[in-house]
Structure 1
Amino acid sequence: MEYVAALSLVLRGKMEQKLRWYFKLYDVDGNGCIDRHELLNIIKAIRAINGCDHETSAEEFTNRVFNKIDVNGDGELSLEEFVEGARKDEEFMEVMMKSLDLSHIVTMINVRRHSV
């Protein structure tokens, strides 16, 4: 049931709801903040899944994100910093939205359903 609710949110939820859910997902240790290591691992995983080449390394991207949106400079992203940063930084928002883009899976399911 939790999976279905999460899937519904990712597909139909408002941007604020999606960002809050992404934050909880990326906060691996559940301490209420995302540190550099957590974000770096997420960025590496997203890039591995998407299989795209990028101009900047995952490390460079992570450092750029923290330089731009870690407002208080404590080396961690709070929920507020994460949400505001994603709203203000188009590239970061794009990465967050693509990280759980399920449209290719939905397309594959539809194609298989119609071919049977």
Structure 2
Amino acid sequence: MKDRSPTRTPLALLLEELRTDAGLSQYALAAKCGFDRSNIRRIEDGSVADITEERMRVLADALDVDVERFYEAHWLTVRRPLPSLPTYFRSKYQDLTPAQIAEVEAIVDTMRTENADDHTQ
């Protein structure tokens, strides 16, 4: 008989590790996040691999870790691009104003242009 259990993903392994390191049960973490415990269980067992950026932020806040850990594990799990710069900066540096985020994005765009120019010469 074929094993039908979900594959443990990098996201699943990370969440379980962080939760147990924090000394929390799935129920306790779910309560801190405002989620149903089944949501935590399904992420940890690998049956849910694609979670929203908002859920990653809530989990990171509840576990008192940097949201980047979830972004990286999510990328390794689903192989989709990481969040856009504005989304990243809003979640990582919540006190930045929209103008500051736009300024950082403009700097990165300039760097991309300069890098592209370096490769065409």
Question: TM-score, length-normalised on structure 1?
Answer: 0.28
Return the index of the structure with the highest Cα Rg. 2
